[in-house]
Chain A
Amino acid sequence: METISGARALMKALEKEGVKEVFGLPGGANLPMYDELYKSNIRHILVRHEQSAAHMADGFGRVSRKPGVCFATSGPGATNIITGLATAQADSSPMVAITGQVPVSMIGRDAFQESDIIGIANPVVKYSFQPRHASEIPTVIKKGFYIAETGRPGAVLIDIPKDVQQNEAPMEFPEEIKIRGYHPWTDPDVTAIEKAITLLLSSSKPVILAGGGVIISSAFAELQSLAEMLMIPVVTTFKGKGAFPETHPLSVGPIGMHGHAEANKIMAEADCVLAIGTRFSDRSVGTFDEFEKHLKIIHLDVDPAEIGKNQTTSVAILGDVKASLRIFVRLLLQKATKKSEHNAWFEHVTEVKEYWRQNLKLHPGELTAARILRKLREVLPHQSIVTTEVGQHQMWASLFYDVIHPGTFFSSTGLGTMGWGFPAAIGAKTARPDLPVVDIAGDGSFNMTENSLATSVLDNLPVIVFLVNNYTLGMVAQWQRTFYDRRMIGVDQKHCPDYVKLAESYGAQGIRVGNLDELGNAIKAGLKSDVATVIDIPIDPEENVLPFVAPGTSLKDMILPS
C-alpha cells in the first residue's frame, strides 16, 4: 500500500476508471486536486461557468455511455453545478461531479465559500459522498462510478474537503465493490416477456413506444428486430427520438405535446402498447387517465419505481432493456412468429403517416423551421451527433429533423434546461472527436451558455451552433399568443446581440444566412472548420410549433395548423 495524498489518490482512481478528460474550473477549495491534475495525464477542459462543465460532462456521458466528470470548487462553484446535476439526473445520464469543500474542521461554521452542497444536491442526484478521511477516496470513487453508470444511470456528487485532499494516507484501490442496498441488475423476466408476446399477438392495433431507455442501453438492433418480426409500428417519446431510425417504414415518430401528428393519431388509436424504457412523462402522454383508457400497457423498465408510477400496466417487465429485448427476439424466433406486411393495421398506419406527411400545413417563407431543419438533415452526414437547446427550435428539431442513425440525438428532455445543448455538444465532441457535432439552438437558450465558445475554440472542440434565431423567447411567446391573448411580455430580445460578431470575438466563425442555399453552404463550411461555427438563421418570430397538445389535454385533442 502506498502512502499518498487524497488528491493524488483521486487522480489515480480516476485514471483507473479510464477517465481521460475532466471539465472544470478551479478555485480555493479544489486547488490540491488541480495541482495533482497538473501532474497527471488527464486532460483538463476549462469552462467559463461551472454549469457548462456539468453539461459538458453530461453530453460526454450520453454519447460515450461512460460517466463524464466535472470539477468545481466549494460554495458558488458547487452551487453553479446544481442545474447540471439535475439535468443529468432527470435524463438518466451518467455523470460524476467532484467538488472541493472547506476543511472538515470548518464545515458548519459558515466559512468563506462554504455551502452544504450534499444537502442542496440531495434531491437531484442518484447518490452523493463526502469522504472525511483521505483513505476513503479510492473506494468512494469506485463506488461513485459504479452507481453513476449501472442500473438506471444518473448523477453522482463527490464533495471532498480541502484537508481530505491534502492529507496523506496509505491507499488501497479496490478492484471490485459491493453496495448492499443497491441492486442494479435483475435477470430478464422471461415469464412476463412471454405474457407480453401473447398480449401483443392478440392485439389488433399494437404499437411500440420507445423511450430513452432504449438509447441508454443501446438496444437499437434488438428493437428493430422485434418491430420488424411483429410488424409493429414504432412511436417514441421525445427522449426516445432516434431510438429507431426515423426513415424506417415502421417509424411513426415522437408522440407528445409537440409530437408528430401521425404519431399522436396512431397512439390514440392503439389498443396495446409495448412501452420500453419510458416513464410516461406528462409531456409525452398528456393526461394520464385519458392515455390509459382503451389501452393495454406492457411496460418494460430497469427501474421498478417507474412501473405503475404514472400509468396502470397490464404486464410489467422489470429488467435491462437490451437484455429483455433479446429475450423477446429469441422467444419469437423459437415460435417462428413473423407477421406479414399485409396486415390491416400496418396499412392503416402507413396511410395515416403518408397523409400527415403530405398535408401538414407549414409556415410560409423560405427560412422556416421545416425547411432549414430538412436542409440540415440533407447536408449532415448520417452519423453526426445532434444536441438541442430547449424551446421552439427543440420541438421543430423533433418534428423536422429525422434521426437516421440511432442514438445520435440528445436533448434536455426531462428538466428542459435552456443552455444545455451547446456545452453538451462540446462534451459530445470530446467523446467523439471523429464525428461532426451540431447544437440545434434557439437564441434565448444560446444566450445562457454562449461563453462556452471560449472552451470550444481554445480546447479545439469545434462544433456547429445551428442558431434558429427569432430574437424571441419563442416558446413562451407562442404560449402568450395562444393562451394569453397576445399579451407579450419578457420575450423580445430586441436584436441583441449580433451573433456573427459574438462568434468572431471568441475566435469562432460566424455566418449569417439569408436563404437555403447560403444555409447549405454555411453548414458545409462549419463541417470543414477547425473552430466552432455559429450559423445565424433569422426566422419569423410569429412561427408557431404545430401540432400542439395543450397542457392538461389528451393526444387526440391536438391543435393542428389552421
Chain B
Amino acid sequence: MWAILSILVENKPGILFKVTHLFRSRNFNIDSISVGTTQNPEFSKMTITTIGDEKQIEQIVKQLDKMIDTIEVKRLDDKKTVYRELVLFRVKVSKASDTMEINNIANSFGAKIHDARKDSIMLELTATPDQIDNLQELLSKYEILDMAKTGVAALQRGGD
C-alpha cells in the first residue's frame, strides 16, 4: 500500500535528519521525500510517500506524531488530494525520427521540452508519480541518459 504523509515540522536544523533516521531505525521505507518552507517561516512541510501494510503505515504516523519536532502529521487520502511530482529526463536521440517521436510523447503527457540537441532532449513533467512512471516507460525505448525527480508535493482539496 502506498501512502502520502504530510508532516508539518519546526523549521530548525537537524529535523530532516531525525525524520529520515526514524524511518531507517524503525525499518520503514521512504518512497519519496520533499521538504520546503511554508507560509509561516517557523514551520517546514515534509511530504513523504511510503509503502507498507496498513499496520505499518499506522505505526509510521504514530511514531512521527510522537516526535517532539513534528507539529502535525497527516495521512492524506489520495482521492481527496492534489499530489504532484516534477521530473526531468534527458533522453538520447539516435536518429532524426526520434526527435519527432519524443516530441509527440511529450505533447501527449503535457511535458515541456528543454534543451533540444541533436543527440539528446530534456523533458520536464509535473504529474502524479504514476503518470511519471508511464512516461519513463515510454522514454526508456530511446535510452534515458539521466533523470531527476523532486519527490511529491501534496495538498488536500478544500482544506481538511
Contact = CB atoms under 8 A, between A and B. Distances in A.
Interface of A: 118-119, 122-123, 126-127, 147, 179-182, 303-305, 308-309
24 contacts: A118-B14, A119-B17, A122-B21, A126-B68, A127-B68, A181-B9, A181-B10, A181-B67, A181-B68, A181-B69, A181-B70, A181-B71, A182-B68, A303-B66, A305-B59, A305-B62, A305-B63, A305-B65, A305-B66, A308-B55, A308-B58, A308-B62, A309-B59, A309-B62
Contacts of A179: 68
Contacts of A123: 21, 25
Contact of B59 (A122, A182, A303, A308): A308
A122 B55 contact: no
Interface in B27-85: 55, 58-59, 62-63, 65-71
Contacts of B62: 304-305, 308-309
B114 interface: no
A179 B10 CA distance: 11
Contacts of B10: 181
B18 interface: yes
Nearest to A303: B66
Given A122-B17, A181-B70, A305-B62, 8 more contacts: A122-B21, A123-B21, A181-B10, A304-B62, A304-B66, A305-B59, A308-B59, A309-B59
Interface residue tally on B, bucketed by range: 10 to 19
Interface string B120-143: 000000000000000000000000
A147 B68 contact: yes
A303 B66 CA distance: 8
Contact of B71 (A147, A180, A304, A308): A180
B17 A304 contact: no
A180 B69 CA distance: 8
A118 B55 CA distance: 30
Contacts of A118: 14
A122 to B, nearest CB: 6
Contacts of B68: 126-127, 147, 179, 181-182
Contacts of B58: 308
A180 B40 CA distance: 15
A122 B18 contact: yes
Shortest beta-carbon contacts, A-B, top 7 = A305-B62, A182-B68, A123-B25, A305-B66, A181-B71, A181-B68, A127-B68
Contacts of B63: 305
Contacts of B70: 181
A309 B56 CA distance: 8
Q: Most B CB atoms within 10 A — which of A126, A127, A180?
A: A180
B32 to A, nearest CB: 23
A316 B17 CA distance: 32
Contacts of A180: 71
A308 B53 CA distance: 13
A181 B42 CA distance: 12
Interface string B8-20: 0110001001100
B26 to A, nearest CB: 9
A308 B62 CA distance: 10
A554 B62 CA distance: 28
Nearest to B62: A305
A532 to B, nearest CB: 38
Q: Most B CB atoms within 10 A — which of A126, A127, A181?
A: A181
